[in-house]
Chains A and B, each alone.
Chain A
Amino acid sequence: MSTDKKLGTKIIHFGGEIDKTTGASSVPIYQASTFHHFSLDNPPEFDYSRSGNPTRQALEDYIALLEGGARGFAFASGMAAISSAFFLLSSGDHVICTEDVYGGTYRLLTAILTRMNIETTFVDMTDPEKVKAALKPNTKAVFLETPSNPTLKITDVSVICAWAKENGLLTMLDNSFMTPYYQRPIEQGVDIVLHSATKFLSGHSDVLAGLAVVANDSLGRRMKQIQNGLGNVLGPQDSWLLMRGMKTLKVRMEGSEQNARRLAEWLDSHPAVGAVYYPGLPDHPGREIHEKQSSGYGAVVSFDVNGGERARKLLSEVKIPLVAVSLGAVESILSYPAMMSHAAMSREVRLERGITDGLVRYSVGLEDIDDIIADLDAALSHLQG
């Protein structure tokens, strides 16, 4: 597929949609761990599935095309993708990371990579000056997440990347919330885009997967060495299921975003609800920057119901959303960061980052928005007092 087509077309015609041998309309699942060498002098393209598998390769090419990068990599989970990116670093290196980063990334940096002598400074990336102030002589990388999880803060990607480039720093960005349908960070100067593909890319709460896309071939070679060396690759069945999910990315993102915008506006005027975090709201402080770098607002809305007891009550009263961790599916998922995705963070750090005891995160699915609102309205009515 030529690269001048619109993203909605590339999502369907990504190059692997037709099997070259049989013409099959879906990439075959190569459930093979090894491949026959027809001759010693001409090694086959694929020799061992950890190093390369045709089904996984189709997925890796697919995500590289959508993100506009040089090369894609598929991993066993989002954390496997993120940890692989950090494995590009070495002992003695320093990382600047957005402060309201996903709890799992926070845990990796603070509980594991510290033992390898990789040090991290967490900063509020809504203010580029704070990022610049964190620079040390041994700083090697900047890790961004925008919108952030769960308070949907916005980082100006091109400003941070330009500064990082001047200082020879590697930039990594977790694009799980936006997906390449709404945001393509490589176009803004990012070196490595990371995904928990378990979320919107797959979209059905049925595949655990991670993806990475690198901006250039030299990073591609380094990342390939890490992926093959660590072996934290995605299996062929899951690779296939993820591609199946990605084919409907456009319609799912548009549908769930439309619902999310309605929900955010409704919540914003609800008397039982405190702060509402959604970049599509007119008073969101990062809205202007977000609109510069993204073509949509996504489908995650966080809001504060003022207190832990009230949050617990809300979670027990809702009927439509799944009360669970994870997000980005056709079904709505309501989660409670303080006890779920951000449980790895101490309460003190959590509160500093605005993840209050009353904060809940609504990943808006494809149900009818009137039903979603009616369900939440009924649940909120139980919180009075």
Chain B
Amino acid sequence: MNIESRLAQIGSVSEPVTGAVSFPVYQSTAFRHPRLGESTGFDYARTKSPTRSVLEDAIADLESGDAGFACSSGMAALQTIFTLFSQGDHLIVSLDLYGGTYRLLEQIMSRFGVSASYVDTNDVEALEEAYRPNTKAILIETPTNPLMMVTDLKLVCGWAKSKQILSIVDNTLLTPYLQRPIELGADIVIHSASKYLGGHNDVLAGLIVTKGQELSEQMAFLHNSIGAVLGPQDSWLLMRGMKTLALRMERHEHNATTIARYLQWHPLVTDVYYPALESHPGHAIQNRQSSGNTGIFSFKVTDARLVEPILRHVKLIAFAESLGGVESLMTYPAVQTHADIPLEIREKVGVDDRLLRFSVGIEHVDDLITDLAQALEQAQAEVEGDNKA
């Protein structure tokens, strides 16, 4: 069955008692055992819960994996995965990475003796250099956030396999609708489902998909033991969001591409980072391994002083953290999402004070461009006014 059909029918044929087309929210923590030593398959909600299970089976199927796990946030999913590792283990991680991942590694996992090297994951030479005998996994974001660097998944997952290390791919920005890393050789896929999968900026959630029986069993053990699981109401809301994923992603991509092309030629913009643009260095790889592009891109303005007035003057576009919702949001990575990453790493990848990240929603693209145009114009007038004064 095509992915659009599988998305639309998540949970719709799973409820055998009443035939409810929307799977019920099982707000229950305990489950009666029919007899001692017998189980309905559900014992305690932390271990397994009916509503969460439907979601977990759905994401495993969509990502072509063997098992799915729903967590209370994207970071909780990452924490659960990181708990696979032990004191003395080493990880290779995308240089341009989410601030929360960096914080988890450097402020928490480091205390448990798990270390990380940050490299451009598309550079196999750099990977070879970063590899150590105690390296256990590579964590890839593609495209990265916010600079949209693309990693060749087939190539790099193949490299990881040759080193017998796990490849973990953060698929938050593309979702299984556009990219399925397990089909390209990844062992684990992770999502901040708060983003496109949820799609409405109303659910905080994380998802994990594993390939292989042993890894799936290990993950199930950790998921249950650490207990950072997703509640039933949020599981239900997330599935509700996922039913419209295909439609939303198509509109997100259309709007983002149109606006990226508009900004590319805007006099106040120096750079636009978006793999859908032919000028993007990862354009060809992106087209090969994904069936489309995400709805976020980043751009740099000519002068850092433009940033504050732009964020103040946008009307339709909200100034907020997060991304992937139906409504457009703009973020200032240097002070918001990436504030915890040291200046040195930020500058190395290019997250500077002129960079803005735009999560393009599904509003009409003309309205978004009009809003952006007037905000840029007013910001320019203010900065010029300051110059004269």
A interface residue numbers (CB < 8 A to B): 31-41, 47-50, 53, 75-80, 82-83, 87, 89-91, 104, 107-108, 111-112, 115-118, 198, 205-208, 210, 225-226, 229-235, 237-238, 241, 311-312, 315-316, 322-326, 329, 333, 336, 339-340
State the CA gap A326–B112 with chains docked (Å).
31
State the CA gap A311–B87 with chains docked (Å).
42
- Chain B residues lying within 8 Å of A233, measured Cβ to Cβ, are 72-73, 76, 204
Which B residue sits closest to A333, measured CB to CB?
B30
CB–CB B75/A229 < 8 A: yes
- Chain B residues lying within 8 Å of A226, measured Cβ to Cβ, are 108
Query: For B72, B79, B221, which residue has the most chain A Cβ atoms within 10 angstroms?
Result: B72
State the CA gap A322–B320 with chains docked (Å).
46
- Determine how close the nearest CB of chain B comes to the CB of A217; give it in whole angstroms: 19
State the CA gap A198–B322 with chains docked (Å).
30
State the CA gap A222–B388 with chains docked (Å).
48
- Chain A residues lying within 8 Å of B308, measured Cβ to Cβ, are 40-41
CB–CB A325/B312 < 8 A: no
Stretch at the interface among B11-19, B181-189, B228-236, B288-296: B228-236
State the CA gap A189–B250 with chains docked (Å).
57
- Chain B residues lying within 8 Å of A47, measured Cβ to Cβ, are 320-321, 336
Q: A90-B111, A205-B29, A206-B29 are in contact. Are A76 and B36 (CB under 8 A)?
A: no
CB–CB B46/A324 < 8 A: no
Interface residues of B in 24-41 (CB under 8 A from A): 27-33, 35-37
- Chain A residues lying within 8 Å of B87, measured Cβ to Cβ, are 91, 115-117
State the CA gap A117–B112 with chains docked (Å).
7
Q: Is B213 close to A, CB under 8 A?
A: no
Stretch at the interface among B194-202, B279-287, B373-381: B194-202
CB–CB A48/B228 < 8 A: no
Give the B interface residue count (CB, 8 A): 69
Interface residues of B in 16-67 (CB under 8 A from A): 27-33, 35-37, 43-46, 49
Stretch at the interface among B99-107, B264-272, B343-351, B364-372: B99-107
Question: 30 A-B pairs, CB-CB below 8 angstroms?
Answer: A33-B198, A34-B320, A36-B320, A40-B332, A41-B308, A47-B336, A76-B231, A77-B227, A80-B76, A80-B226, A80-B227, A104-B225, A108-B225, A115-B87, A117-B86, A207-B231, A229-B100, A230-B76, A230-B108, A231-B74, A231-B75, A233-B73, A233-B76, A235-B204, A235-B230, A315-B33, A326-B30, A336-B36, A339-B36, A339-B37
Query: For B201, B231, B312, which residue has the most chain A Cβ atoms within 10 angstroms?
Result: B231
A-B contact count (CB 8 A): 216
Q: Which of B30, B31, B112 contacts A91 (CB 8 A)?
A: B112
- Chain B residues lying within 8 Å of A77, measured Cβ to Cβ, are 46, 227-229
CB–CB B83/A112 < 8 A: yes
Interface residues of B in 78-123 (CB under 8 A from A): 78-79, 83, 85-87, 100, 103-104, 107-108, 111-114
Q: Is B311 close to A, CB under 8 A?
A: yes
Q: Is B362 close to A, CB under 8 A?
A: no
- Chain B residues lying within 8 Å of A312, measured Cβ to Cβ, are 36-37
State the CA gap A325–B203 with chains docked (Å).
29
Query: For B32, B103, B228, B322, which residue has the most chain A Cβ atoms within 10 angstroms?
Result: B228
- Chain B residues lying within 8 Å of A91, measured Cβ to Cβ, are 87, 111-113
Query: For B36, B203, B311, which residue has the most chain A Cβ atoms within 10 angstroms?
Result: B36
Q: A36-B319, A37-B319, A316-B36 are in contact. Are A198 and B29 (CB under 8 A)?
A: yes
State the CA gap A323–B38 with chains docked (Å).
11
Query: For B37, B104, B227, B335, which residue has the most chain A Cβ atoms within 10 angstroms?
Result: B227
- Determine how close the nearest CB of chain A comes to the CB of B145; give it in whole angstroms: 14
State the CA gap A262–B227 with chains docked (Å).
35
- Determine how close the nearest CB of chain B comes to the CB of A318; give it in whole angstroms: 11
- Determine how close the nearest CB of chain A comes to the CB of B158; give it in whole angstroms: 28
Q: A32-B202, A79-B46, A229-B103 are in contact. Are A206 and B28 (CB under 8 A)?
A: yes
Q: Which of B72, B237, B322 contacts A232 (CB 8 A)?
A: B72
CB–CB A235/B30 < 8 A: no
Which A residue sits closest to B324, measured CB to CB?
A33
Q: Is B318 close to A, CB under 8 A?
A: yes
State the CA gap A36–B35 with chains docked (Å).
52
- Chain A residues lying within 8 Å of B316, measured Cβ to Cβ, are none
Query: For A33, A50, A77, which residue has the most chain B Cβ atoms within 10 angstroms?
Result: A33
Q: Which of A80, A241, A322 contacts B30 (CB 8 A)?
A: A322
